[in-house]
Amino acid sequence: MADELKRGLEGVLVAESDLSYVDGEVGKLVYRGYDIEDLARGASYEEVLYLLWHGSLPTAAELDSFAVDLAAERDVGDDVIETVRALADAGERPMAALRTATSMLSAYDPDEESDDDGEATLRQGRRITAKIPTVLAAFERVRQGEAPVAPDPELSHAGNFLYMLTGTEPDAVSEETFDMALTLHADHGLNASTFTAMVIGSTMADVYSGVTGGIGALSGPLHGGANQDVMEVLHEIDASSKDPVQWVKDKRDDGGRIPGFGHRVYKVKDPRAKILEEKLRDLSESSGDTKWLDYTTAIEEYLTDQGLVEKGIAPNVDFYSGSVYDSLGIPVDMYTPIFAMSRVGGWIAHVAEYQEDNRLIRPRARYTGPEDSEFVPLDER
């Protein structure tokens, strides 16, 4: 029905897309037909970017040249680092700093604004995707009073980020885990930030504008951020020396929700959560510190026994990603920026795909304001 109002556009189809599909009933996520589990276990984030941007998995030679081209774009230049430093000194929040710095990057992009073909979008997208980790790592280091670490083109996208963040090359388990986390968060249908980037892209604005808008949308607590809440809960439980199950019981008795459980689309355990749970297990075994694993396992078992999972309120990706990032030594307020660092691949893919057969996105609101208001000049009001 043409005039039916769909608040939040829930369930409204606005585009066709070959990029990703979520089946919330069975807990399935695919990128271009490939199961997320196969991609997370078998492909690097660079391969997934290639898949999303170019339509098929790369051959070894294609991946090689794609990864070299991506790595070659990591440097951001002194002006951007100085801006990042100024933002850190001002106490800016990481997502806001990322938004400002990403917007600034367009000033140094060699593609002209008039180059609005799909190839230019992907070239610019490649630069943005390569530079976001550099911006984020520099921001984290300068706010800790440390010098930024220059990117190493020999390292993978995931390995280089951890290297720039910590100043030391990550071990194989950490690099593989972080790479998987990037793949798992790369795309997820028309979520709010992807849709934001698409709306901006539909005006044929440049992709920097779309990504900057996507970062803004992702920064809201209803979108990115739940993994921070999970980690804060785990820290709270730890600080209170309370049994995790008791904490959950008390929280539910107070009518509170358990962060990391429930999802608008998934009615069973999020497939991404299953993979991250395994990685948390690997990280805990390799470090010998099983605290977060023990807490999350106890909470999940308890809530399953309570019938919550059966009711469709199952662990989502955030239930495990927070403790995985914590095990990698990443500070809590960098979790959402890391989400952006991964999802940027999906934003760019959706903008490029949509612009191929572009139609300006322009819905309308049902007007509920007054009619026939009589205008009174300012000096008579």
Q: How far is the CB of 315 from ligand COA (least distance, A)?
A: 9
Cβ neighbours around 77 below 10 Å, total = 14
Cβ neighbours around 349 below 10 Å, total = 30
Site string for ligand COA, 188-227 (x = CB under 6 A): --------------------------------------x-
Q: How large is the angle between the packed helices 45-54 and 60-71, nearest 10 degrees?
A: 100
Nearest to 17 by CA among 270, 181, 183, 191: 191
Q: Is 223 considered catalytic here?
A: no
Contact region for ligand COA (CB under 6 A) — 61-69, 234-242, 311-319, 326-334? 311-319
Looking at 318, 324, 326, 346, which residue binds ligand COA (CB under 6 A)?
Answer: 318
Residue 100's identity, in one-letter code, is: T
Check residue 354 and give left, alpha or beta (phi > 0: left; psi -120 to 50: alpha). alpha
Q: Is 117 considered catalytic here?
A: no
Tell me: does residue 326 bind ligand COA (CB under 6 A). Answer: no
Tell me: does residue 339 bind ligand COA (CB under 6 A). Answer: no
Looking at 72, 243, 257, 329, which residue binds ligand COA (CB under 6 A)?
Answer: 257
Contact region for ligand COA (CB under 6 A) — 77-85, 120-128, 142-150, 260-268? 260-268
State which residue, 93 or 257, has the beta carbon closest to ligand COA. 257
Residue 143's identity, in one-letter code, is: R
Tell me: does residue 261 bind ligand COA (CB under 6 A). Answer: yes
State which residue, 317 or 352, has the beta carbon closest to ligand COA. 317
Any idea what DSSP says for residue 363?
-
Tell me: does residue 258 bind ligand COA (CB under 6 A). Answer: yes
Tell me: does residue 109 bind ligand COA (CB under 6 A). Answer: no
Q: How far is CA 36 from the centre of its chain?
A: 15
> Hey, what are 310's tokens?
């059966």
Looking at 119, 264, 289, 329, which residue binds ligand COA (CB under 6 A)?
Answer: 264
Instruction: State the Cα–Cα distance between residues 53 and 349, nearest whole angstrom.
Output: 5
Query: What's the distance, Cα to Cα, between the start and end of the chain in Å?
Result: 42
Return the residue nearest ligand COA (CB atom). Answer: 262
Contact region for ligand COA (CB under 6 A) — 159-167, 199-207, 251-259, 320-328? 251-259
Instruction: Collapse the DSSP code of 152 into the 3-class scheme (helix H, G, I; strand E, B; otherwise coil) and give the result.
Output: coil
Contact 27, 317 (CB under 8 A): no
Tell me: does residue 234 bind ligand COA (CB under 6 A). Answer: no
Contact region for ligand COA (CB under 6 A) — 193-201, 209-217, 239-247, 253-261? 253-261
State which residue, 226 or 334, has the beta carbon closest to ligand COA. 226
Q: How far is the CB of 113 from ligand COA (least distance, A)?
A: 36
Any idea what DSSP says for residue 275?
H
- Determine which helix (DSSP H) or strand (DSSP E) holds 267, and give its type and residue range: none
Contact region for ligand COA (CB under 6 A) — 119-127, 198-206, 259-267, 283-291? 259-267
What pairs with residue 22 in β-bridges?
29
Cβ neighbours around 332 below 10 Å, total = 16
Instruction: State the Cα–Cα distance between residues 3 and 153, nearest whole angstrom.
Output: 54
State which residue, 80 or 313, has the beta carbon closest to ligand COA. 313
Point out the catalytic residue in the list 179, 318, 326, 350: 318
Tell how many helices (H) and how many strands (E) occur in the chain. 16, 3
Nearest to 237 by CA among 174, 311, 166, 302: 302
State which residue, 52 or 258, has the beta carbon closest to ligand COA. 258
Residues that bind ligand COA (CB under 6 A): 226, 257-264, 313, 316, 318
Active site residue ranges: 263, 318
